[in-house]
Amino acid sequence: MRDPKASSTIRPEAIIIVTGSELVRGELADENGPFLAAELARLGLACRRITIVGDDPGLLESAIAEGLDADLCVISGGLGPTHDDRTIELLAKAAGRELHVDLELERAIDLVGRRYARNVGSAYHAFQAGVRKQASIPEGAHVLGLAGTAPGVTLEREGRVAVALPGPPNELQGLWPAALASEPVHNVLVRVPPFEHRVLRFYGLSESTLAAALEQAGGESGGVTVTICARERELIAEIFVEPGAEARAGELEDALAAADPDTLFSRDERPIEEIVLELARERRLTLASAESCTGGFVAGRMTGVPGASDVFLGAIVAYANEIKEGLLGVSTETLARHGAVSAECALEMAEGARRALGADVAVSVTGVAGPGGGSSEKPVGLVFLCAAGPDGRLEQEITFSGGRDQIRRYASVAALHLLRRLLTHFRHIEV
């Protein structure tokens, strides 16, 4: 769909440049572009494009030169000490600035390098050439801080700002708050006109159904724009509201919510695992998981939320039938008659996890993740789930399409939503 910020209001524009030949070759998937685009949208900037470019100097310089025409250009990658880390030198060239060694930065990188050399038992002289390279920044640039030995920098030119950040996603995200707090980026952000951002999230609703509801309600108009996207089988509708368009936004929001009220589960951007944990916390219930084909994906998402330990007790990854029997108490008769991939096995896995881990509520997942192991009766992608608690249980059978990793991720999301449904309708809430 079109740019969510496109309207009569002029917004500062941004361009994202993601560098690295490993991305162009398909060896790694880009995580930085989506993260930065979401952040820029949240801040109210109009993201013109995301460009992924390899380490070829000519192509990278051309991309950076084009990026410098935007109000804000954010570049990720190419800040390391090796010969193919060229972002800083090409940023300087495109901006018409000379490189110089920042002595304070050089000392900081030197300390990090010496510490690393000691930790790995390596001679430090191997790091020295890289230290000077990484301490060389364009004239007029400001250092945001270090991620390892890689410095993040900002460079302002004629009111337009470039930000260079490290390529590893955790390092980029670690320096991003410093970039937002820097004076050059702040000067761009203060030019962003006010706007409101509303979110509706659905599970089990098709994109075509939501698009039809939007069209029947008159579509985007009057300072309101809408984006609809699918993410891990959830459907997210984002509504961007210019000043004075609140009434029209309310009409569209109501129309979208009414498309299928049973599938609307959130009006905020919290991940589903955080919502599940909060529901359990409100009801003073503890949670656990029993997983076969997902191999711990459900538990991984739960424990990825800070503070989850007060609610989530643990998981049993029961991949082999012997573990299903021994740790979860799945009966030999159930496995012989129905198989490990069955509704009956899923039920016994969930109840077994409740007993074994002492949890109030448990969810189980068992299925065929592929690429092999499927049959005409139980094809690849077939998954059985069960969420069981003191107030009853919910069971579900779904067949997902896609590769092994995709099926496992989809199954873990389905398990979390099954938990959400069970907890939402839990009748005996303690007070």
Q: What is the CATH number of the domain that holds 281?
A: 3.90.950.20
Supply the range of the domain harboring residue 113: 13-189
Percent of residues, the chain, with pLDDT higher than 90: 87
pLDDT of residue 2: 38
pLDDT of residue 427: 54
Decide if 220 is inside a domain: yes
In this prediction, residues 286-305 reach a mean pLDDT of 98
**Average pLDDT taken over every residue of the chain:** 93
pLDDT band (50, 70, 90) for residue 391? confident
pLDDT of residue 429: 42
Decide if 1 is inside a domain: no
Shared domain check, 262 and 281:
no
Give the model confidence (pLDDT) of 133-177 as tens digits.
999 999 999 999 999 999 999 999 999 999 999 999 999 999 999
Shared domain check, 56 and 98:
yes
Shared domain check, 137 and 45:
yes
Q: Which of 144, 173, 189 is the last residue of a domain?
A: 189
| Phi and psi at residue 102, to the nearest 5° | -85, 110
More confident residue, 425 or 214: 214
In this prediction, residues 283-300 reach a mean pLDDT of 98
Long-range contacts of 341-347 (CB under 8 A, 24+ apart): 341/293, 341/366, 341/367, 341/368, 341/378, 341/382, 341/384, 342/366, 342/384, 343/384, 343/386, 343/395, 343/397, 345/384, 346/384, 346/385, 346/386, 346/395, 347/386, 347/388, 347/393, 347/395
Give the model confidence (pLDDT) of 168-213 as tens digits.
999 999 999 999 999 999 999 999 998 999 999 999 999 999 999 9
Shared domain check, 245 and 301:
no
Concatenate the DSSP letters of all residues of 173-198 into one string.
HHHHHHHHHSHHHHHHHTTSPP-EEE
Shared domain check, 230 and 329:
no
pLDDT of residue 431: 32
Question: How far separated are the first and last CA of the chain, in Å rounded?
Answer: 46
Decide if 6 is inside a domain: no
Q: Is the pLDDT of residue 114 over 90?
A: no
CA-based torsion, 379, 371, 23, 303: positive or negative: positive
Q: Which of 243, 266, 289 is the last residue of a domain?
A: 266
pLDDT of residue 129: 73
Shared domain check, 295 and 213:
no
pLDDT band (50, 70, 90) for residue 4? very low
Shared domain check, 253 and 170:
no
Shared domain check, 95 and 125:
yes
Shared domain check, 171 and 40:
yes
Nearest to 345 by CA among 403, 397, 284, 286: 397
> What one-character DSSP code corresponds to residue 213?
H
Shared domain check, 217 and 177:
no
Whether the ω angle into residue 371 lies within 30 degrees of 0, i.e. cis, is yes
Concatenate the DSSP letters of all residues of 374-389 into one string.
--SSS-TTEEEEEEEE
Give the model confidence (pLDDT) of 72-98 as tens digits.
999 999 999 998 999 999 999 999 999
User: What total number of domains does the chain contain?
Assistant: 3
Decide if 28 is inside a domain: yes
Decide if 4 is inside a domain: no
Q: What is the pTM of this model?
A: 0.82
Decide if 7 is inside a domain: no
In this prediction, residues 366-381 reach a mean pLDDT of 96
* Lowest-pLDDT range of 121-135, 229-243, 262-276: 121-135
CB 386 within 8 A of CB 375: no
Q: Which of 151, 169, 189 is the last residue of a domain?
A: 189
pLDDT band (50, 70, 90) for residue 124? low
Q: What is the CATH number of the domain that holds 134?
A: 3.40.980.10
Q: What is the CATH number of the domain that holds 243?
A: 3.30.70.2860
Decide if 224 is inside a domain: yes
Shared domain check, 257 and 380:
no
Shared domain check, 372 and 285:
yes
In this prediction, residues 368-386 reach a mean pLDDT of 97
pLDDT band (50, 70, 90) for residue 9? low
Q: Is the pLDDT of residue 7 over 50?
A: no
Query: Cα 167 to chain center, whole Å?
Result: 16
* Lowest-pLDDT range of 18-32, 117-131, 306-320: 117-131
C-alpha–C-alpha distance, residues 269 and 199, integer Å: 7
pLDDT of residue 126: 65
Decide if 333 is inside a domain: yes
